A and B are shown apart, each in its own frame.
Chain A
Amino acid sequence: MTIDNIIKIRNVSFTYPDAKEPAINNVTFDIERGSWTSIIGHNGSGKSTIIRLINGLLDAGENANSKIEVDGIRLTQKTVWDIRDRVGVVFQNPDNQFVGATVADDVAFGLENRGVSRLEMMKIVPKAIAAVGMSEYADSEPGSLSGGQKQRVAIAGIIAIKPKIIILDEATSMLDPDGRSQVLQIVQQMKDKYGLTVIAITHDIDETALADQVLVMNDGQIVTQGKPESVFKKTKLLNELGLTVPFVQQVKKDLQSNAINIPDTINSEKELINYLCQLNSKK
């Protein structure tokens, strides 16, 4: 069976006007339908640029060798709106993406833009709000909501247009731990319920535990990619890039350097705890 890739990026480069160095330098990668991909990298590594290229907020220009393909559609000037119907983005700042005067108005914004009839909206909007657990706030103004709640509203606004892909552009970085875990939980639920593909740009390395695939970016290029456990094995490389590894990996590595032998096959927190408990009962 061939792998069904919902996003195909081929040889894409992008340079901001007035910049000397390209922000994205000849990048190629695929994202599998229904998967969760985390993109990590320090500030300015090109993470945010790449997602802005995917939904056409930035234009890489047309070039025979390079292409961006989303859900079988090649991104061009003509198809950009079709692609935006398939891709929803939750941005970093909860306040600055809240367009509507109330929660319901904001959730309806994307539908209004697509000319959905009012009758239809009256059905979709309450459902989308309920899906993120915000029903009791439907008529609330943004000022009375927490950052996490605003991000949940943003997710509802995306769910309402029935996209195939949801992108989190550091969507949890301005939230407190409660808000962060709520948002991630909702995204996980939505992913399962609607079979969405998730791309999450993040600083929170522990968040990558949710991912099927991790892409590591540096200087506009993909340095390494793969399953989380194989990426986080490369502690040295990640440290050189100024990235930390998940806490489990740190503990594992420190134990190893303290002459406590931990097999390479042990990667999750659960595995490490079980292994250490066995080790302690054996002696």
Chain B
Amino acid sequence: MSIKFQKVSYVYSQGSPLEKKGLDNVSFELKDNSFTAIIGHTGSGKSTLMQHFNALLKPTSGQIKIAGSLITPETTDKHLKKLRRHVSLVFQFPETQLFENTVLDDIAFGPKNFGYDSEKAKASAQMWLDRVGLPKDIANRSPFELSGGQMRRVAIAGVLAYEPEILCLDEPGVGLDPRARAKMMQLFFEYQKAGHTIILVTHNMDDVAEYADDVLVMEKGRLIKHDVPQKIFNDRSWLKKHYLDEPRASLFASQLTNYTFTDLPLTKKELIAGIKYNLRK
């Protein structure tokens, strides 16, 4: 059951003077259990694209097949619960969505909405509180007493607690310190390994290199490239032409002018191995 976008276009404020094309004839297919990164500049349509995955936005034309549902321009807001149970979406700064009296209740909000009974919702909340690396004793505290980083984790736990098959993330690490960031990315990576699909909107090319196995590149509402990270980052002149950054490792490697790499190193690990190989030759 893959994710399939077929000629999807989206127009903002159609018919008004502010009319703007958000997505322009976007088609692609993503494999189950993949880790797909969506990259591109601010305003390129990444976020618009992401909001189509669970029908927060519905295509102006074209259709989307995802998690057993079909989204078309005619899809109404009713009966979307099944879709949203399976496809979830985490916005930037998700800590702003917290509202319950206790951390545990907040995490259980999603599961309850999706039909878990109160007992099961609590149990799931308890489990995910632990999995996102939060101490057990904060369960009954108000989420608003926590630090920014902890609040972020509570919000993420609140989405993971009903175990959506497909998890879409918009810059989940922005504003966190490096340690918290790395932990969070690791959490999503493990979630993928446990058999789920991850879609990550990001500006961080190191994360793309490290975790993604598939990349969508957006520009002005169009999908301009869909390939594996290795292929995308190997084409340095293409990246330059579209003002896209490179992973730090490949940027470093490309300056080692008298080294030869069979594959351009994308991660630090690959870079070290490549340097070693060249020096031992």
Contacts and interface: CB of A to CB of B under 8 A. Distances in A.
Given A273-B255, A280-B259, A203 B177 contact: yes
B180 interface: yes
B252 A279 contact: no
A218 to B, nearest CB: 12
Interface string A214-246: 000000000000000000000000000011100
Interface string B90-119: 000000000000000000000000000000
Interface stretch (A28-36, A126-134, A191-199, A249-257): A249-257
Contacts of B271: 251
B207 interface: no
Given A176-B203, A244-B179, A280 B272 contact: no
A20 interface: no
A255 B249 CA distance: 13
Interface in B252-281: 252, 255-259, 268, 271-272, 275-276, 278-279, 281
Contacts of A254: 268, 272
Contact of B258 (A44, A258, A260, A277): A277
A173 B174 contact: yes
B256 A273 contact: yes
A258 B41 contact: no
A179 B275 CA distance: 33
A219 to B, nearest CB: 14
Interface string A166-194: 00001001101111000000000000000
B135 interface: no
Contacts of A276: 256, 259, 275
B195 interface: no
Contacts of B219: none
Nearest to B204: A177
Contacts of B256: 273, 276-277, 280
B257 A243 contact: no
Interface string B174-189: 1111111010000000
B201 to A, nearest CB: 11
Residue with the greatest number of chain A CB neighbours at <10 A, chosen from B148, B257, B276, B279: B279
A242 B177 CA distance: 9
Size category, A interface: 20 to 34
B248 interface: yes
A43 interface: yes
B147 interface: yes
Size category, B interface: 20 to 34
B258 A247 contact: no
Contacts of A250: 268
Residue with the greatest number of chain B CB neighbours at <10 A, chosen from A173, A251, A269: A251
B32 interface: no
B175 A173 contact: yes
Contacts of B279: 260, 279-280, 283
Interface in A18-64: 42-44
Contacts of A92: 175
Contacts of A281: 258
Contacts of A243: 177-179
B42 interface: yes
B245 interface: yes
A210 interface: no
A243 to B, nearest CB: 7
B276 A258 contact: yes
Nearest to A179: B42
B179 A247 contact: no
Given A273-B252, A273-B256, 5 more contacts: A92-B175, A244-B179, A251-B252, A279-B279, A281-B258
Interface of A: 42-44, 92, 146, 170, 173-174, 176-179, 203, 205, 242-244, 247, 250-251, 254-255, 258, 260, 269, 273, 276-277, 279-281, 283
Q: Which 10 A-B pairs have the closest CB atoms?
A: A242-B179, A244-B178, A42-B177, A247-B248, A254-B272, A273-B255, A176-B42, A203-B177, A173-B175, A176-B203
